[in-house]
A and B are shown apart, each in its own frame.
Chain A
Amino acid sequence: MKIKFIVNNENVEVEVKPNETLLDVLREKLFLTGAKEGCGNGECGACTVILNGKPVNSCLVLAPEADGAVIETVEGLSKNNKLHPIQEAFIEATAFQCGFCTPGFIMSTKAMLEKIPNPSNEVIIERLSGNLCRCTGYAVIIDAVKLAAQKMGGAK
């Protein structure tokens, strides 16, 4: 079957199977490989993309469900060859090591900050508890989110 959606402000039309996941379509058909498959079960968050404004584990979204949706992936964040403030914040706080989970964390952060511009530690922890990282020990990620909030004008 054919589905249409908008990904990173571009209209796409792809032929998919009903049992294919959105993650597979993004990675294997559109070669948007920023979202990673860390578990395929919605347990690690490495595949997080934003679907109609909400962060989703794209490994749990069937491709047909994405028909008509507006999707943002990490590839869409930098504009005009400039990094997004969240990306700058992750660099400044060195909120990554191996980098495999990083796109997922960044997309979860973006979805959070768009709804809650100035999140408390508790909110950050709650919103990012579905994203696993084995390298950093997370503390720098919390720093990065706060820094991103500041850069985006949330925190005073």
Chain B
Amino acid sequence: MNYKYQSPIKFKYVGKPMKRVDAIEKVTGSAKFVTDMFFPNMLYAAVKRSPIPHGLIKKIDISKAKALPGVRAIVTGKDVPYRQGIYLVDRPIITMDRVRYVGEPVAAVAADTLEIARQAVELIEVEYEELPVVQDPRESMKGEVLIHPDLANYERLPIYNIEPEKNVFHHHKTRKGDVEKGFKEADLIVEGDYSLPQIYHAPLEPHAAIAYWDLNGKLTVWSSAQSPFTLRNLIAYAFKIPRHKVRVIAPYVGGGFGGKAGINMEGIVIALAEKIKNRHIKLVYTREEDISAVVRQGMYAHIKTGVKKDGTIVAMEATLIFDGGAYAEYGTNVVRAAGYTLPGGYYVPNLKTDSYGVYTNHFLGGAFRGFGHGELHWATERNLDEVAQKLGMDPLELRLKNVLKPGLTNSMGQKIHHDTGDMEACLKKAAELIEYGKKSKPSGPRKVRGKGIAGLVKAPAMPTNAGSSVIIKFTEDATVTLQASIQEIGQGFNTAIIQMAADALHIPPDKIHFVTPNDTDLNPYEWQTVASRALWTVGNALYRAAEDALDQIKNIASQVLGVAPHNLEVEDDKVFVKYRPEIYLLLKDVVMGYTYPDGHAIGGPVIGRGSFVPEMLTNLDLETGQGNAAAEWTFGAEAAEVEIDFDTGEITIIQLVGVFDAGTIINPITAGGQVVGGMIQGMGPALFEGIKYDEKCNPLTVSFTDYKIPTIADIPEKIKYDFVETFEESSPFGAKGVGEHPMISVPPAIASAIYDALGINLRDLPLTPDKILKAIENKK
């Protein structure tokens, strides 16, 4: 936006397929995750959980558990009467007076062994008074059962609208143009209802934390956290301790996908550590516990679109109702981000969106790869397909007609620029890769094939002041240790940052070491590893840190060589005079300060420092949703080819295609990894994933047997991807994220392909064979 870099850096390492720096650790099993850490005299924790979905706690009797030999501490909500949460502080560490979902923590035990801790948990007796249950957020909005009677009293950021009498933790409004006038101008109006259930992140590593609180009052937490600094902040806030007394260390994280962003279960083990100081206490969730820890919100949407005969969209009215589950916390901003991004990458002059986050007695909905965008695109992209069908227009053509272009405004009134990103190019390239419009031959007589395409856009959803910082420290031989606090969660950031640093410093990657593990006591501040924001924000901070370090080097060399600093350049192991490379100093003789032959020295050890906040952002107007909530966007398009068996309703994905405009691709290997992995993760909720509850609100999907995720046997024959690289001028590297985007529009692309094959519109995820068979029946 207002930072204009027009490729000032000559890329030597950026854009190259550099091998991942974490490779050897990860293939030898030596990469350490929290669960792999052991400390002498360590205690083990286990959690007592609610067996009912909604009720008041009448009595907790811990006497039998306490009497069990080997039990060292037991905590209940009374010991930690605090709430936590990044955006809305609604979530107790351990519930105090009522339970709101099956699996909610009501007590925790620390014991000499895990076995004893689990036995003790069984011995804790809890009496409940059951309350009526709400499962459907649309029902919940009637306010007949209040899930958070105290909602009005919870602390929250002022960017959220609560409606406590309706169980609504956020109501986002977009009001752009005049929607009534727009619909009057329309030749055709198409309305539809679309839904999707809650889904589970399913990282292979369940949530894990170890806490150690010493008698000096210093608390150290090792956590499988995406956001060590935000975790530090939220722990300190909840437990009312100064930030500098909290240290969070995050070793490798075994998959995050948003579920390990913010704070999750750390408070439980910290509460135990507060009781038994000077002992390490470890809590590792079981798979069943992990599924109850956080999920993606479910959603019910109603979309109404008005178009002219030629396909020009003139108005859209949308209602999104999110099943936020028992606590909103992080999910508050999911509801907001989906609300302000709708209608996605299209120009809609007259727009009215109401996005509601609503409490239910389901698992709590939090951040999930895509952050509301998989949800909103499911509804809008499906609706656009139906518009195209009614117009008799090709769905791709309809999209190309309405795509956001430079000069137009998005839903928030932000102007699109030439460097914002090019969804048109993504759509065209995706169509080309899948050979859109060309039917391929089915594999059998009772089978039929079809192709579909969908667009997508997402900007990082983050606070206006989400900061990043980077430190570059030179060593005696002019190699470099580089510190930034983006967490490696599989995405490959530890490799990408070295490539960017190499080009920013003009020294080769093998001379740069990226410091791990992430440690809030040792590393510079970073808001969070979320939102596909790291390449952009840290890229900016890194560039500033490199400039700072180079300035220091040039200043020292300038005094020695008698040449103005701006006439000096750094490359590999030398600092030299521009156009006179034969006049140089070795970097190693400069980076610790320069020592003259007589022994006197100048300068000092070079430490580059760079800080960044996205200075152009503002809060949105609460009544209109207008403002600058988004800093930069990654656009994309995804396409699918499916084959459907008429007799069984079974869908086989023949091809998946993804094309993304994420600006400069820093590393094609890791970017490709995000794309393929993300598309397969998007295939799961398209075809079979969804949390299920029985009529009493008991969860039915509590293991990998009940909750199936894609296996190696499910992947399509062909997966193709490509990039459009529009240089993003607000990044010195021209780069922005692509971590979340590949997951977003796989479901609507598949649904579009199903329509192409069968002439059937499915509106509710997942697209299971029974739904397809039923639709085939109904069509007859």
Q: Which of B633-679 contact A (CB under 8 A)?
A: 669-670, 673, 676-679
B732 at the interface (CB under 8 A from A): no
**Interface contact B27-A100, CB-CB below 8 Å:** no
Q: Please report the C-alpha to C-alpha distance between residue A135 and residue B491 in the assembled complex, in whole angstroms.
A: 8
Partner of B29, one of A43, A103, A125, A128: A103
Q: List 6 A-B pairs, minimum CB-CB distance, nearest first.
A: A34-B29, A100-B254, A98-B490, A99-B26, A137-B680, A97-B490
**Interface contact A91-B19, CB-CB below 8 Å:** yes
Which chain A residues have a beta carbon within 8 Å of chain B's beta carbons? 27-28, 31-41, 43-44, 46, 73-75, 77-78, 83, 87, 90-91, 94, 96-103, 106, 124-126, 128-129, 131-142
Q: Which of B248-303 contact A (CB under 8 A)?
A: 252-257, 284, 286-287
Q: Please report the C-alpha to C-alpha distance between residue A103 and residue B205 in the assembled complex, in whole angstroms.
A: 13
Residues in B neighbouring A37, C-beta threshold 8 A? 35, 284
Of all chain B residues, the one with the shortest Cβ separation from A94 is: B669
Q: Please report the C-alpha to C-alpha distance between residue A139 and residue B205 in the assembled complex, in whole angstroms.
A: 21
Residues in B neighbouring A91, C-beta threshold 8 A? 19-20, 23-24, 27
Of all chain A residues, the one with the shortest Cβ separation from B27 is: A87
**Interface contact A78-B287, CB-CB below 8 Å:** no
Known contacts A38-B205, A94-B669: A125-B27 contact under CB 8 Å: no
**Interface contact A98-B203, CB-CB below 8 Å:** yes
Which stretch from B496-504, B577-585, B711-719 is at the chain A interface?
B711-719
Of all chain B residues, the one with the shortest Cβ separation from A97 is: B490
Q: Which of B159-205 contact A (CB under 8 A)?
A: 201-205
**Interface contact B680-A138, CB-CB below 8 Å:** yes
Of all chain B residues, the one with the shortest Cβ separation from A98 is: B490
Residues in B neighbouring A125, C-beta threshold 8 A? 712-713
The 12 sampled A-B contact pairs (Cβ below 8 Å) are A44-B287, A75-B30, A87-B28, A90-B27, A97-B677, A98-B256, A98-B489, A100-B252, A134-B677, A134-B709, A135-B255, A138-B680
**Interface contact B204-A83, CB-CB below 8 Å:** no
Residues in A neighbouring B30, C-beta threshold 8 A? 34, 75
Report whether over half of chain A's contact residues are helix, strand or loop; otherwise say mixed.
Answer: loop
Known: A39-B704, A132-B204, A141-B712. 13 other contacts (CB 8 A): A33-B32, A34-B30, A35-B29, A36-B36, A44-B204, A44-B704, A91-B23, A98-B256, A98-B490, A100-B204, A100-B254, A106-B27, A138-B715
Residues in B neighbouring A131, C-beta threshold 8 A? 712
Residues in B neighbouring A136, C-beta threshold 8 A? 673, 676-677, 680
Partner of B23, one of A38, A96, A139: A96
Residues in A neighbouring B38, C-beta threshold 8 A? 28, 31
Known contacts A38-B287, A91-B24: A74-B254 contact under CB 8 Å: no
**Interface contact B712-A98, CB-CB below 8 Å:** no
Residues in A neighbouring B256, C-beta threshold 8 A? 98
Partner of A135, one of B24, B25, B677, B705: B677
B621 at the interface (CB under 8 A from A): no
Residues in A neighbouring B711, C-beta threshold 8 A? 129, 132, 138
Minimum CB–CB distance for A28 against chain B, Å = 8
Q: Which of B21-65 contact A (CB under 8 A)?
A: 22-33, 35-36, 38
Q: Please report the C-alpha to C-alpha distance between residue A77 and residue B24 in the assembled complex, in whole angstroms.
A: 12
**Interface contact B29-A33, CB-CB below 8 Å:** yes
Q: Please report the C-alpha to C-alpha distance between residue A125 and residue B489 in the assembled complex, in whole angstroms.
A: 26
Q: Please report the C-alpha to C-alpha distance between residue A126 and residue B203 in the assembled complex, in whole angstroms.
A: 22
**Interface contact A134-B681, CB-CB below 8 Å:** yes
Of all chain A residues, the one with the shortest Cβ separation from B37 is: A33
B206 at the interface (CB under 8 A from A): yes
Partner of A137, one of B27, B204, B253, B677: B677
Q: Which of B423-453 contact A (CB under 8 A)?
A: none
Q: Please report the C-alpha to C-alpha distance between residue A125 and residue B713 in the assembled complex, in whole angstroms.
A: 6
**Interface contact B19-A36, CB-CB below 8 Å:** no
Minimum CB–CB distance for A120 against chain B, Å = 14
Partner of A41, one of B24, B492, B670, B703: B703
Q: Please report the C-alpha to C-alpha distance between residue A34 and residue B23 in the assembled complex, in whole angstroms.
A: 14
Q: Please report the C-alpha to C-alpha distance between residue A16 and residue B713 in the assembled complex, in whole angstroms.
A: 37
**Interface contact A74-B23, CB-CB below 8 Å:** no
Minimum CB–CB distance for B726 against chain A, Å = 25
Partner of B28, one of A27, A34, A43, A139: A34
Q: Please report the C-alpha to C-alpha distance between residue A141 and residue B592 in the assembled complex, in whole angstroms.
A: 45
Of all chain B residues, the one with the shortest Cβ separation from A86 is: B27
Q: Please report the C-alpha to C-alpha distance between residue A125 and residue B25 in the assembled complex, in whole angstroms.
A: 25
Minimum CB–CB distance for B138 against chain A, Å = 31
Of all chain A residues, the one with the shortest Cβ separation from B26 is: A99
**Interface contact A43-B705, CB-CB below 8 Å:** yes
Q: Please report the C-alpha to C-alpha distance between residue A133 and residue B677 in the assembled complex, in whole angstroms.
A: 9
Minimum CB–CB distance for B30 against chain A, Å = 7
**Interface contact A75-B28, CB-CB below 8 Å:** yes
Of all chain B residues, the one with the shortest Cβ separation from A24 is: B114
Residues in B neighbouring A28, C-beta threshold 8 A? 38
Of all chain B residues, the one with the shortest Cβ separation from A34 is: B29
Of all chain B residues, the one with the shortest Cβ separation from A121 is: B717
Minimum CB–CB distance for B516 against chain A, Å = 13
Residues in A neighbouring B203, C-beta threshold 8 A? 98, 100, 134
Known contacts A36-B254, A133-B204, A134-B709: A100-B33 contact under CB 8 Å: yes
Partner of A36, one of B33, B680, B710: B33
**Interface contact B24-A99, CB-CB below 8 Å:** no
Q: Please report the C-alpha to C-alpha distance between residue A129 and residue B503 in the assembled complex, in whole angstroms.
A: 41
